[in-house]
A and B are shown apart, each in its own frame.
Chain A
Amino acid sequence: MQAGRRLRLPALRVVLQAWPWGLLLLALVGVRLSKGAGFSDVYALVSRPFWPGSAQGEWIRSAQSLDDQSRLRQLEGDNRRLRGLLELQGRGGPEVAAPVISRQAGGWWQQLLIGGGELQGIRPGLSVLAPGGLLGRVASVTPTTATVALLTDPGSRVGVWVGRTQRHGLLTGIGTSRPVLRFLEKDPGVRPGDVVVTSPASTLLPPNLTVGVIQSVDDRAVPATEAVVQLSAPVEAVDWVQVRLP
């Protein structure tokens, strides 16, 4: 009986010999209490080469883009239907792509010559778009070319709309790369950074085409506030344009 009791009581020496297991136990307790912090970090470090790379990112962006495009198409359809119900001018018909074959964006005239004309259905007055927004309007056409009067041309005047403040204005070209936006009232409440689009009530241009961003505002202009607009379509870098048919 005495010998059996001796065996049941663990000797202190045995406990001391098992210290590595004790350390392991303490480490596991630490992992448990820290919700696996250290363990996760080590796992992240080891598995970093296998993380989702650019290919997966592209897939996600592509899927997002597809989703955006389908939503945009649906919203445009809704918009067209509602504008038809309200008998407002629509966003126009199909677009014809044409190359820029001559660019005179400096000097006395501000115009482009594009390689598309009457044969492609282009007519004077149609709006010309580029990546970024509205560039100008077709001023004259030949069978195979069309001259586009840029928004920066001194003869250009376009009705525009600042969506944030819901104010109309007249965008006037002054021969520089930045046209002037003249408002109809003294205090339109606009500020630099506001986006300018074509007027929803315009009878000359399709509505809600992006034109540019207000760069500076002159509140002391007479008779009403003026703003300088940075156009969103880069005239100097555009090689192809889209002409929106009626």
Chain B
Amino acid sequence: MNRLARHGWCVATALVVPWLVLASPGPLKLAGVPPAWPVLWLLPWALVDGPLSGALAGAGLGLLLDGLHLGPITEIPALALLGWWWGRLGRQGPPIERSFNLGLLALLGTALLGASLILQGLLLGWSAAEAWLPAPALHTWLAQTLLTALLAPLLCSLQLLLWRQQASGGRG
């Protein structure tokens, strides 16, 4: 457990997430909405390294990303929860490897992340409440969930392969 976290360079790959958030590459957008990059990095990490490492990685990523965004709304709770959940899934039962499973987990995770942002927007009364519920928020939520789920099989399976090699110590 927590074998990946012992490799400094593995932890450092998390820096790609804020870099991608800032760069916001145009070709990887759906209707102007980028994918949930933290979900795409966190899912394979947590599946390989367990719930504790997943939750900590989620919280760390959330801290990093909250620093890049305006307003009081935070991604920390949702990412920490997802890291813990995916870590438990990785520890129980056979290893999750199939593209469909990865896509489904990414879809559920992104939907949960988006729902947490909408809920916070409503609870905190940030700006007009109507800004967070109808068309604009729904559009962002759906587009991001769909795009992340489509990218997950491609990106997460490669990361899973790499992390499993590192965790087993084979070619680390």
Contacts and interface: CB of A to CB of B under 8 A. Distances in A.
B135 interface: yes
Nearest to B135: A176
B69 A111 contact: yes
A132 B46 CA distance: 47
B121 interface: yes
A207 interface: no
B158 to A, nearest CB: 24
Interface string A35-61: 000000000000000000000000000
Interface string A87-125: 000000000000001111111110101000000000000
B24 A103 contact: yes
B69 A174 contact: no
Interface in B115-169: 117, 121, 126-128, 130-132, 135-137, 140, 144
B8 interface: no
A102 B22 contact: yes
A140 interface: yes
Interface residues of A, number: 25
A107 B140 contact: yes
A176 B32 CA distance: 10
Given A102-B23, A147-B70, 19 more contacts: A104-B21, A104-B24, A105-B32, A106-B29, A106-B34, A106-B140, A107-B144, A108-B114, A108-B117, A139-B70, A155-B71, A155-B126, A155-B127, A172-B131, A174-B128, A174-B130, A175-B132, A176-B135, A176-B136
The residue among A102, A153, A156, A175 with the most chain B CB atoms within 10 A of its own CB is A175
A174 B126 CA distance: 11
B89 interface: no
Interface residues of B, number: 27
A105 B136 CA distance: 12
A109 B34 contact: no
Interface of B: 21-24, 29, 31-34, 69-71, 73, 114, 117, 121, 126-128, 130-132, 135-137, 140, 144
B57 to A, nearest CB: 21
A173 B21 CA distance: 21
B24 A175 contact: no
Contacts of B24: 102-104
20 contacts: A102-B23, A103-B24, A105-B32, A106-B33, A106-B34, A107-B32, A109-B69, A111-B69, A149-B70, A154-B71, A154-B132, A155-B71, A172-B127, A172-B128, A173-B127, A174-B130, A175-B132, A175-B140, A176-B135, A176-B136
A157 B132 CA distance: 15
Nearest to B132: A154
B19 to A, nearest CB: 10
A172 B126 CA distance: 12
B127 A108 contact: no
Contacts of B132: 154, 175
B50 to A, nearest CB: 29
A103 B34 CA distance: 11
Contact of A106 (B23, B32, B130): B32
